[in-house]
Structure 1
């Protein structure tokens, strides 16, 4: 047999075995869905509703708080080796029937057979998609539309797409653990249930912004080394599902992805393997004209710009207005007033962006009847934009979570504030010694010791270990801290038996208030329900800390009451409990109090209300535990301009 015939035979045998393996894997996957217990199906349905409640308004904000959509088109980018199978050459955002009903797209008549994004994604195998494109091309919009379509058309037992901003991913954390924490923190799922959903592969990760994980070079070009992005790609290529690569969706800018591929690292650190990569194409001038025409309410004022775009579809302005981001900027800036024809003189992208962004905040505040002055909005968003971009000591933060904004001031300032507050609290603790007999020596020594601890915290260069993640009343449950709960119960029972006070009613009250009451209260927060708003997260943190402080105060008062009178017990126990629990164990609430004190005058008094108003106006959008800037270009422009320019 000739060498070529033997090679063909080997390829045929290998192909048959590989196809048989794939068929068996698909059968296993089908049986997995058939055997999915009812509780996992119910959990995934609840998670799908939660994701839709967050991402549907976020998608609407990206569209300019309007129902008009641009039918984005994308093409397959050929990858050398291990691409996804069954990938079509091109696709579109919307189904053909939706395009015919909603707009007069120039692509409708040219290529009506192109699949929509849901059909495109579900037809490739494995379900791994990379959405790439230049800045403002609509990558996040395309990913959000795909997420909402997957939720709308999902069958019982299908995975639920969950979006995660990659800029906040510590790549030392495995992807599975990252998904569990996302469900636990953002959607308020108990850790055990979140782990089961992830282990059963009922969560489809949608990873947004691979290019935002590493700082660009000084000139603004992507960093070809990009250690965090390469570590993320290595982790994504490692994940499997039933011996098949794990399904996922990834968004990244074209130039950043190309820079990663030019490196000398292994393939698993240079690109996403076993995936189909699509690149979003520019919006044609007829589609841009159709979009602006439908967004305009006073078309007479827009007539000059419309005539210019219709007469010069290949001109400089038409090429600049070929991204959804710039089209949305133009539609928003000139929605109520102004002459759109002044854009005809803008022929450079950077000058056009600066021109539009300088007018964007005043236009948005006027459209939404905002109570804030546009100049104040700009000044308040400036430090938040610098923090989100990573101009401080902690790197970039895609999500502005209220309980994590304490990182904006210098770290030493937060430490000193906590230490000085602790010293002041325990100094006040010594005041009752002046009126309570037989307590001067004990309280004096306690006050001196605690003041020393506070000064040590204020002057030390290392932060004490403290949990800064948000807490709810569930964190007071004994099963959340099984070791500490066991030690507490054992110590209380041993002390009671040793001192022959087991039947004392005051110890019974102390045990009930300190242990049983939190158990009963946490039953109200046993199952995930509606999505928690960012402002509610910090409120729950303060409520959890306040309730814990009250319980400690009651237990301490009952304990101290065996030696002192009720009034003296309150004077002794309450200040000590408040200082000890709130200041030392306050966690995120204590850090947030320090942040608001140190940033007074820089940010509005009601910061949460301001961020909600900015989200409603379209300057920000909901993301994870907090807020995200609507677009990276807007964030960078605000970070570079401390004062609003003269428009």
Structure 2
């Protein structure tokens, strides 16, 4: 943004100084009527040139892509970026916050796996037998290294810690990685359409999460991300296979088997993976492990150390967990303890219990109340319901209370419930605005823009000797039609326009630009020949000249300028190749303002300059204003940033579904461990929590 401000400042300062200096001293005085339009046209071009030069200098600054000399350098850069991301993910999940909760696993059922001779890549006729795969999260990398194919299936129930385990595996592999080696990349399997080959999807996701790898060396050359994948520098870890739609899981297995040379790790719930294997084939050359549930011993080693030390606490109290753990040791004969032990078998539930009791000082003994919690599921639902109030007990910069945060997160959970991938994207929140409201608001914007245009056209028509009311009356009717058509066309569609991103840079030779300018100018002017003939027959030479010749010159000039500027300055890029929601919103805003600004400036220079040359400065300014309302209406209703700023965000804030600073709230929820970030979108960190919030009653 600083580059843009510097460029605009470079353009504005000399123009302002020249205008002020001339007004103060009247040094330059020219009485010719054509002089002001020519001067202002030249000033506009000079200002635009200054902006373009500043933008080109900014775009030519060294980027990450230019520093990546070869694939080894790119892989090393990716490894450093991912290591930082995975460390932050563990910190948000409090995985390594002392103490660490060890996850145990055992070999998966052989009915779900390939032959051991294939897994171990044995010679024909050899029978090597099974591998030793039992262990815990501390030695997951060692266990994985025993698999010659590098392919592993991690099975477990919801909240069992599959994502935590593979993130730990990725960090261990990154720690052992040598320069230029393969990089483990955790990818969300739910975003994969198995109709696309595995490698193509991997390259697409890599470019989505890391825009620096999306650039290519030429128009016919693959992107840096595709070259990394094709060169074997990416080791995929596909998390959440059970979130892939059931009808696509078999196809996904087939695609992974076609890419049998790609080492990969796959996580899934056990039941969903077993159903897929029963309906098709196993994952070729893949070993398997299954996460075990936590025991009373695991809880006794972990939970007491999560409470704050207290001088009044005894050795057997452990911050309130002592009596609870004592009863858990007798769960075989204690029904209440057995119910609690059954509820705390997954790391997710233990994490929620820690957030509710250890972090907030509440007494965990209430979990043993049989009247309140007769079943293990009752305890789980209680912990899920208490999670958001627990993490929002700390004051926030936005002043959000736990009640308000719960209400907003419930609205978001219901919104993502209809999404296959569970993505929470700011531009898709437009769907929460009722269609009637969208149509009315968009129609009002287009109607006001049309009314303002008609008003300016009336002034212009009156200047050339016509009757203003002759234009005003049909113009009012036309404004109503524009409001109706504009409201329906922009507000009725269920999905709004996705955000766009632009690369900016001046390109092309001056000779080619002049040639294209002349061609576009005369082609656009030729379209007005039938209009001039009609005006000549209806009103004579005066009317034909004013609204035929002058208009044709104005529109042709603005059209030529627009085409040349957009071709030279704005180069469209792939949408949403950004690394965060903030970057996505910013790139969408810059893209909308850039394209609309270029077109508006071209119309102002072309239309205003043409009319001003024949009718004076006042006429030129009025004619130039004709281009502004339509472009403003387009930005506000037809771009992702415009819809978010003027429709979605105000509506959600007024109706209480989100705070006014919605993006800030979402990022704060990510910092508190409720959401996680995946490129330009957010997702709920725990699917069980999302389902619980989606089913909650909003007050």
Q: TM range, normalised to the smaller chain?
A: 0.7 to 0.9
Cα distance in 1 for partners of 2:72, 2:400 equals 45
Aligned counterpart, 1:637:
692
- Structure number with larger C-alpha Rg: 2
Relative to structure 1, is the Cα distance of residues 491 and 446 closer, same or farther in structure 2, using a 3 angstrom cutoff? farther
Relative to structure 1, is the Cα distance of residues 551 and 257 closer, same or farther in structure 2, using a 3 angstrom cutoff? same
Q: How does 1:548-559 map to 2 (within 5 A)?
A: 548-559=595-606
Aligned 8 A contact 2:160 2:293 in 1 = yes
CA apart distance, 1:611: 0.9
Relative to structure 1, is the Cα distance of residues 377 and 462 closer, same or farther in structure 2, using a 3 angstrom cutoff? closer
Q: Which of 192, 199, 202 is matched with 1:179 structurally?
A: 202
Aligned 8 A contact 2:458 2:471 in 1 = no
User: What SS is found at the alignment partner of 2:236?
Assistant: strand
Relative to structure 1, is the Cα distance of residues 54 and 134 closer, same or farther in structure 2, using a 3 angstrom cutoff? same
Relative to structure 1, is the Cα distance of residues 534 and 140 closer, same or farther in structure 2, using a 3 angstrom cutoff? same
Aligned counterpart, 1:98:
none
CA apart distance, 1:229: 2.5
User: What SS is found at the alignment partner of 2:610?
Assistant: coil
Tell me whether 1:285 sits opposite 2:296 in the alignment: yes
Aligned counterpart, 2:256:
236
CA apart distance, 1:572: 1.5
Cα distance in 2 for partners of 1:129, 1:165 equals 16
Moved more, 560-569 or 326-335: 560-569
User: What SS is found at the alignment partner of 1:156?
Assistant: coil
Aligned 8 A contact 1:132 1:139 in 2 = yes
CA apart distance, 1:369: 5.3
Aligned counterpart, 2:76:
45
Aligned counterpart, 1:573:
627
Cα distance in 1 for partners of 2:251, 2:491 equals 28
Relative to structure 1, is the Cα distance of residues 413 and 49 closer, same or farther in structure 2, using a 3 angstrom cutoff? farther
Q: 5+ unaligned residues in a row in structure 2: which ranges?
A: 1-67, 121-129, 216-222, 310-317, 527-552, 613-619
Q: Which of 201, 212, 219 is matched with 2:243 structurally?
A: 212
User: What SS is found at the alignment partner of 1:643?
Assistant: coil
RMSD across aligned positions (CA):
3.9
CA offsets per residue over residues 141-189 of structure 1, 9 Å max, x none? 1111122222232223323233332334344444333333323333223
Aligned counterpart, 2:326:
307
Relative to structure 1, is the Cα distance of residues 249 and 288 closer, same or farther in structure 2, using a 3 angstrom cutoff? same
CA apart distance, 1:252: 0.9
Tell me whether 1:494 sits opposite 2:513 in the alignment: no
Q: 5+ unaligned residues in a row in structure 1: which ranges?
A: 1-36, 96-115, 215-225
Q: How does 1:101-500 map to 2 (within 5 A)?
A: 116-189=139-212, 190-191=214-215, 192-214=223-245, 226-238=246-258, 240=259, 244-263=260-279, 266-267=280-281, 271-298=282-309, 299-312=318-331, 316=338, 317-334=340-357, 335-345=359-369, 346=373, 348-367=375-394, 371-390=399-418, 395-409=419-433, 414=438, 417-418=441-442, 421-436=445-460, 437-438=463-464, 452=481, 455-456=484-485, 458-459=487-488, 468-474=497-503, 492-496=517-521
Aligned 8 A contact 1:477 1:518 in 2 = yes
Aligned 8 A contact 2:427 2:499 in 1 = yes
Cα distance in 2 for partners of 1:245, 1:311 equals 50
Q: Which of 594, 602, 627 is matched with 2:682 structurally?
A: 627
Cα distance in 2 for partners of 1:450, 1:252 equals 57
Q: How does 1:530-549 map to 2 (within 5 A)?
A: 532-549=579-596
Aligned 8 A contact 1:64 1:332 in 2 = no
Relative to structure 1, is the Cα distance of residues 344 and 235 closer, same or farther in structure 2, using a 3 angstrom cutoff? same
Relative to structure 1, is the Cα distance of residues 426 and 615 closer, same or farther in structure 2, using a 3 angstrom cutoff? same
Aligned counterpart, 1:111:
none
CA apart distance, 1:292: 0.8
Tell me whether 1:608 sits opposite 2:663 in the alignment: yes
Q: Kindly tell me the number of residue pairs found equivalent between the two proteins.
A: 547
CA offsets per residue over residues 464-483 of structure 1, 9 Å max, x none? 79984433332x5699xx9x
Relative to structure 1, is the Cα distance of residues 368 and 272 closer, same or farther in structure 2, using a 3 angstrom cutoff? farther
User: What SS is found at the alignment partner of 2:257?
Assistant: helix
Relative to structure 1, is the Cα distance of residues 367 and 80 closer, same or farther in structure 2, using a 3 angstrom cutoff? same
Aligned 8 A contact 2:410 2:694 in 1 = yes
Aligned 8 A contact 1:514 1:555 in 2 = no
Aligned counterpart, 2:92:
61
Moved more, 179-188 or 372-381: 179-188
CA apart distance, 1:311: 4.8
Cα distance in 2 for partners of 1:331, 1:606 equals 30
Cα distance in 2 for partners of 1:65, 1:642 equals 34
Cα distance in 1 for partners of 2:294, 2:454 equals 71
Q: How does 1:25-104 map to 2 (within 5 A)?
A: 38-63=69-94, 66-77=97-108, 78=110, 79=112, 81-82=114-115, 85-86=119-120, 88-95=131-138
CA apart distance, 1:554: 1.1
CA offsets per residue over residues 326-346 of structure 1, 9 Å max, x none? 111111101222111122234
